[in-house]
Amino acid sequence: MMKKVLFLISFCLSGWMMAEAQSLYQFRDTTLTDDQRIEHLMSVLTLDEKIALLSTDLGVPRLGIPHCGHYEGLHGLTRGGSGGWGDRERTPEGEWIKKSLPTTVFPQSYGLGSTWDRTLLQKVGEQTAEEARYYMQSDASKQHALVMRAPNADLARDPRWGRTEESFGEDPFLTGELTVAHIRGLQGDHPRYWKTASLMKHFLANSNEDGRDSTSSNFDNRLFHEYYAYPFRKGIMEGGSSSFMAAYNAWNGTVMMVHPCLENIARKQWGTKGIICTDGSALKLLIDAHKAYPTLAEGASAAVKATIGQFLDNYDAAIREGLEKGLVTEQDIDKAIRGNLYVALKLGLLDGEKTSNPYINIGRDHQQPSFLKESSQQLAREITAKSVVLLKNEAQGGEKLLPLRKEKLRKIAVIGPYADQIVQDWYSGTPPYEVTILEGIRNAVGSEVEVVYALNNRMGEAVRAAADADVAIVCVGNHPYGTRTDWKFCPVPSDGREAVDRQSLMLPDEDLVKLVYQANPNTILALVSSFPYTINWSQEHVPAIVHLTHCSQEQGNGLADVLFGQVNPAGRTVQTWVKDITQLPDMMDYDIRKGRTYMYHQGEVLYPFGYGLSYTTFEYQKISQLKQDKDNLYIKVRIKNTGAIDGEEVPQLYVSYPESKVDRPSKQLRAFSRIPIKAGKTVEVEWTVPKSELAYWDEVAQAFVVESGKIILQIGSSSADIRLKEEISVNR
């Protein structure tokens, strides 16, 4: 009898425990809605677990939710590099060091932007996400993360900004389009799951480094909606990103990490459902630099009330003190971390072992890591070549200097500090290999042409090398982190990086260019830089100039493909290159109407926005179709390749508003394409322009408004090279 009683008790306890376990893990049930799963998970979290979720870790060990943090991913996954983002590993002596793990490294974001190619930006995102999943789910790494701090949707309103290299450029439409493409690559196209989660940086108007921890970016609501916030809104509403990082700075006096617009605009109007996090050490800076609150507890509590769900610095004691003093409630924390749980759900972290997540086997299937595959190497090479902007190409002795023809060359001199090294920036990974410009040129010519190298002109070395060569290629530019990784160390005034703005736009090595050109008029300037320079002397004298950015593991092969005509260049500038620093307004003036960007700049420039040359020529024949309906304009343009070789063209559509009742830009980019056109062939480019893209922000209506009346469509090869114009009256 006693055995039966014990059996019944054991059976009941077992059933109760099973029911309790099922109830505890109900958030794993994928037949429930996302909201139902999140609500259930929230109901079983302890207060300590909720506070722990205010970190950058999405994991809840008690509930089997794996640890998952952040990676940087601006131009490839960071698992090492200059910033030391790799795994921590203890040496036999007990010292902690960073372990670098290889990843595919692409050109800096500024160079990715120069491609003007949405498809390529999406492929970069796909590659980055593939490698993040590999390291998350294989045994190759101890650090697990699927939240990607990318892309940077900030706008490069001023070339002195130290982080210009991280941006897609000065124009909100171009930046918005490339931001959307990058996000789609990072997150994938599965209807339920994300490959990784895109967390955009840095909301909002973060484009001064000096004093960024204590300054305010001041401008009106129209510029907020039409300019500074535009790429973020597009990234959320069109790209599908649900997360972003709040900037260090204030906007109109209120620090971004506690600004009401985080909830009132980003969450309520745009539908941001995911993580909003602080920047590194922003909580401490909120108190010490901005002096916005007297204590950490008050600052942390205010941030949580503003729906900040993750802190990138120490917050635990401050939050607990805030709870104790009634400055913040558990319900406030619930609201703030809800977005974290949503991201965890979309990444498949809440499913447990039984999951239909299509990305779950990456890294577990023992396949070759994608960064070692030939396709990844070819992608890096293709993007590098397509990022090259041909700034100048003039005739020397009857024909243009570029492309080079190796059958006409006996010796090439490759000169300069960036000829035989690739410098990674603060947010680079560690590439599995690197091909320098010197190596790329040697690869291109083989043993048929002699290639000599000079680092500099010490003891006349560069001049002698140039004088004895058929052509000289001078590779100069900036150092992305100032030659040392020390924070705020940037010894050259025209260099810049995170935490340091540029004090000059002059090219330090232009004297080297002058000496090489004096020795050999067949000189090519390869400007390897993260931002523009005022290279007025070089533009006047040097016959050929190309621009590309740092970091790509295929830098040498990609540039050589362009120099030797394997790839016809079609890269375009993403920023206005001024002739002199005196043409720029005060660095801290965020009202771009006072002369910033191609939309408002007055006076001559060195290179306009959207500019880039080709080895062939294109004729913009006519606008073959122009019609509209209630919502859209429909435009077709006929373009012919009138040259002798195949090439790509980047037609650009700008709009101006001569009858507007409000102050509008002189012109605004509203469509673009990058299209291949074979020699002698004509193509028809089609654009659909939503009329919503013609709107301005009406402060009275608190909404975007499309005006009826005449607009002018301007179509051309750059913002300054308009080939076709057409007036049209917009019907609302």
**In contact, 658 and 644? CB cutoff 8 Å:** no
pLDDT per residue as tens digits for the range 214-260: 999 999 999 999 999 999 999 999 999 999 999 999 999 999 999 99
- Mean pLDDT for 325-354 is 97
pLDDT band at 80 (very low <50, low <70, confident <90, very high): confident
pLDDT at 87: 84
Give residue 34's pLDDT: 97
Q: Name the least confident of 6-15, 100-109, 466-475, 521-530.
A: 6-15
- The predicted model gives 642-649 an average pLDDT of 98
pLDDT of 559-578, one tens digit each? Answer: 999 999 999 999 999 999 99
pLDDT in tens, 14-38: 554 445 566 899 999 999 999 999 9
Question: Which of 129, 122, 127 shows the shortest CA–CA distance to 194?
Answer: 129
What does the pLDDT read at residue 13? 46
> Does the structure show a pLDDT above 90 at 408?
yes
DSSP 8-state class, residue 556 = H
Q: What is the mean pLDDT of the chain?
A: 95
Pair of tokens at residue 691: 């009329």
| 8 pLDDT tier (thresholds 50, 70, 90) | low
In the prediction, which pLDDT does 21 show?
A: 61
Q: Look-up: residue for tokens 């002058």?
A: 514
Structure tokens given for 282: 């922003």
pLDDT of residue 443: 98
Q: From start to end of 580-631, where are the E strands? A: 605-607, 618-628
Give, in order, the Cα–Cα distances in Å from 657 to each of 127, 268, 586, 627, 632: 41, 31, 28, 18, 17
Of 256, 126, 142, 138, the residue nearest 196 (C-alpha): 126
pTM of the model: 0.96
> What confidence score (pLDDT) does residue 317 get?
98
Provide the b/e sequence for 495-513 (b: ≥16 CB within 10 Å). Answer: bbbbbbbbbebbbbbbebb
Mean pLDDT for the stretch of residues 330-334: 98
d(C-alpha 427, C-alpha 412), whole Å? 33
Residue 665, pLDDT score: 97
What is the rounded CA–CA span in Å between residue 9 and residue 22?
Answer: 20
DSSP secondary structure of 245-279: EEPSSEETTEEGGG-THIIIIIITTT---S-EEEE
| pLDDT at residue 486 in the model | 85
Greatest CA separation found in the chain? 111
pLDDT digits (tens, 9 = 90+) for 436-462: 999 999 999 999 999 999 999 999 999
At 422, give phi and psi (nearest 5°).
Answer: -110, 125
User: What pLDDT shows up at residue 61?
Assistant: 97
pLDDT score of 12:
46
Q: Position of tokens 């949405």?
A: 118
d(CA 50, CA 45): 6
pLDDT at 398: 77
Residues ≥6 apart with Cβ < 8 Å to 324: none
On the 0-12 / 13-18 / 19+ scale of CB atoms within 10 A, 218 is middle
Work out the average pLDDT over 208-218. Answer: 97
Residue 17, Cβ density class (10 Å: 0-12 exposed, 13-18 middle, ≥19 buried): exposed
pLDDT, position 482: 86
The residue whose two tokens read 């190619």 is 117
Burial 336-364 (b: 16+ CB within 10 A, else e): bbbbbbbbbbbbbbbbeeeeebebbebbe
Q: Please compute the mean of the pLDDT values over residues 425-432 and round it to a whole number.
A: 95
CA 404/CA 472 separation, integer angstroms: 11
pLDDT digits (tens, 9 = 90+) for 90-143: 778 877 777 889 999 999 999 999 999 999 999 999 999 999 999 999 999 988
